[in-house]
Structure 1
């Protein structure tokens, strides 16, 4: 029996979830964490993935971070520079080709971004396999950034397949976020949803219009100059300043000391997302001197205060030329766990509903798992196309019966939309005639008669919008 899984691998972290019995479960890794760092390190001849690689990066010579940037076929020099400065191995690039070089005591090892991504998926495949109740295929839906090309999506899917998964579909990150909160179930009103994802090294903001179960991207913006790593760096600089004032030693002069600081500052940042204070203890930070310090959430918020406006800038630019109203907001990405950022975004749209019931770093994986569960019930169809044409109703349709008029379908409704009307008629009525109109005052273009003498009263009339007609059926 096949089981449905959803995975989101970002630049900084990865999350795995499964779908079963109508519910989504986020699966913890072997360390008990629901989110796995997307960090790899080569320790001698052995690969370390996740927390061991992240925890040991201050001493390791072969660490890779932000590998996802180079999975994108359209990577640029900024992406390459970000990976180079964040990692501690040599990166060789030539004519759009990238390789990592690892020098060990035994030999020099070369590997590609695709190999690294496959290793991350293989780690998640092992976690998923251990969680399975019965043996079977591991069906998977993965999410990719909205701006990625079809070739980049195929490349991502290939890495997951090499790890052992059966990839059903690659969906966009905003679509996965809406699926996680069942926003697509809205069938009555048009709503505009702001999906704001703030990851470790990038930020995406998208406005999605949801109508009749269809999701349409109205506007989107992608930024690589803002991300959670900049907040971590500000906190690390603050701790370094405190250390320098007390001991007259500067951690900035030691790359190893700053790597330690960045690691502990990142952990502190995540703790302060849920607690009002955090304790930082760094053994032998510099010249054998240990460092111990308590940091309050208020202090952390004061440190990052100057960055808040920069993080809200993509949203303000996105909505400046948008004429509609934002009805709902979805937070995504680990950095959006920070309460100060959540409140700053909420203050921009005081009338909008905040969807925050899920952990932001688990939202996209949750949506992918839901999509995988839905696809398991479908016949074998091609799901590789990123976009396809869809038919929508070109005018309003009204239903008239007796002396009543019902607005049955509005213009823009997708095919196979349904509307169920409750019909209450006199007990002595034998027959009833329904007519369909494009305008309440115009003549009807279709009619249907029903003998209702044998039906319960009241009864339900189900109208289904098909390709060129509306089908009326008594339930």
Structure 2
């Protein structure tokens, strides 16, 4: 039995969702968390993945973070520097990127693909434990919109090495649309998809029409992320500690690492609660630190950064000529209520969709796509980038004295439309003509004999390859 799964692996964390009984649900890891840190560490001679790698004594580990940046085949020196600065292992860049993990017990070498495979293997274990019977674990992955096909193939290969059977790699904005079932909308809608992760941010305008999803505008920023909010909160705690004890934690790399770890945890707590307790054992020179941080204080700390975070969304909104009906927020950092309200205020008339935890949205959408694919067992998706032709202009239909829009611009192949026709006269034959515009010359004509039909009947039209099929029912 093949089971459907979806994974979104970001720079900071990964999320696994399963599609069963017509719905997607997020699976918790062995620690009971619904999101797994995308962190890998070598502790002594043992590999650690997820929460064990992120927590504990960082000084005894060789840790790699934000590995996803180097999974993009088009990474730049800025990405390399960011990964090296946030990790405690050496990053070498000669012909290929190589990580040097060195501990007191051993020294090992790895690369971005191997690290990604280890994270997927962790998620594969979680998925396997959710299955009673053995079977193929079918998977759909999400990748950033700007990634090339080579980068997507690397991502899929890592998941396959971990044990998954990868069905497809879809874009993150498309997965966000699927998570909220927006592709089922009977009307054309435009959606702002705003994603704020740990270290990157992007805003997209997505058009949903007839079940098809197309990205109209996109802005990607690699310098904006939740890490900035974490640093601001850590700096605040550091200043409080310094003011009381006249000791500066910023002078100790170990103390800074502790501050960032506890500030990140507090940031997530404050997304749902009005206060968070910060307790850091032996922050500096054996001095413990205990402090309560309220949500109001946290929002005041980050208030100066809000304008920077909404800028990508403002840019795509200003560049788009049309009404935006809905807003989808995703990415772990968008759990912050202050940021959600700031994005919502950009489009007061748009509906904000936030029923799913922002850090789970993309994984939920991927799982749904996997379930949809498995509903069509004969569908082959070996080519992850398939070009599809769409209708370049509207098609109108005329009969008797009526004019109907048969197909709208952008309709895909195999789109169907059914028109109900009432024949109030005594005619036995009907002539139907097709037009590019309501008042243009006909480019096709079809005659039907309706003598044996009821006065009210249906005309079914199907858009095929460079032709339109009409059928009277």
**Cα shift at 1:460:** 4.2
**CA-to-aligned-CA distance 1:158-199 (integer Å, 9 cap, x gap):** 11111011111111111111121222233543x322211110
* Conservation of the 8 A alpha-carbon contact between 2:44 and 2:106: no
Corresponding residue for residue 439 of structure 1 = 437
Give the TM-score taking structure 1 as reference length: 0.93
The Cα RMSD (Å) is 2.1
- CA 1:291–1:324 in 2, change beyond 3 Å: closer, same or farther? same
1:20 maps to 20
Counterpart position of 1:146: 145
Contact residue 41 and residue 60 of structure 1 kept, 8 A: no
CA-CA distance at 1:427 after TM superposition: 10
Give the equivalent residue in structure 2 for 1:78.
Answer: 78
Q: Do the aligned residues in 1 keep the contact of 2:92 with 2:98 (CA within 8 Å)?
A: yes
Q: Map of 1:38-437 to 2, 5 A cutoff?
A: 38-56=38-56, 58-95=58-95, 97-189=96-188, 191-376=189-374, 377-388=376-387, 390-426=388-424, 434-437=432-435
- Distance of aligned partners of 1:108 and 1:394 in 2 relative to their CA distance in 1, 3 Å threshold: closer
SS at 2:290's partner residue? strand
1:448 positional shift: 4.5
Taking the aligned partners of 1:192 and 1:178, their CA distance within structure 2 comes to: 11
Q: Which moved more, 1:136-145 or 1:369-378?
A: 369-378
**Worse-matched range after superposition: 112-121 or 368-377:** 368-377
Q: What is the SS of the residue equivalent to 2:359?
A: helix
Q: Secondary structure at the match of 2:367?
A: helix
- Cα distance in 2 between the residues matched to 1:367 and 1:448: 46
Task: Please give the TM-score of this superposition, normalised by the length of structure 2.
Answer: 0.93
1:31 aligns with 2:26: no
Judge which range, 106-115 or 457-466, deviates more.
457-466
Partner SS for 2:372: helix
What's the offset of the Cα at 1:57?
Answer: 5.1
Whole-angstrom CA distance in 2 between matches of 1:440 and 1:317: 36
Partners of 1:422 and 1:461 within 8 A in 2: yes
- In structure 2, the CA distance between the partners of 1:458 and 1:285, relative to structure 1 (3 Å rule), is farther
CA distance change for structure 1 residues 164 and 111 in 2, over 3 Å: closer, same or farther? Answer: same
Which runs of no fewer than 5 residues in structure 2 stay unpaired? none
Evaluate the alpha carbon distance shift between residue 44 and residue 231 of structure 1 in structure 2; reply closer, same or farther with a 3 A threshold.
same
Contact 1:432-1:452 within 8 A present in 2 as well: no
Q: Secondary structure at the match of 1:217?
A: strand
CA contact (8 A) 1:41 1:57 kept: no
Query: Is residue 399–residue 431 contact of structure 2 (8 Å, CA) maintained in 1?
Result: yes
Q: 1:394 to 1:321 in 2, by over 3 A?
A: closer
| Residue 26 (structure 1) shift | 1.0
- 2 CA distance for matches of 1:112 and 1:141? 23
Report the count of equivalent residues.
471
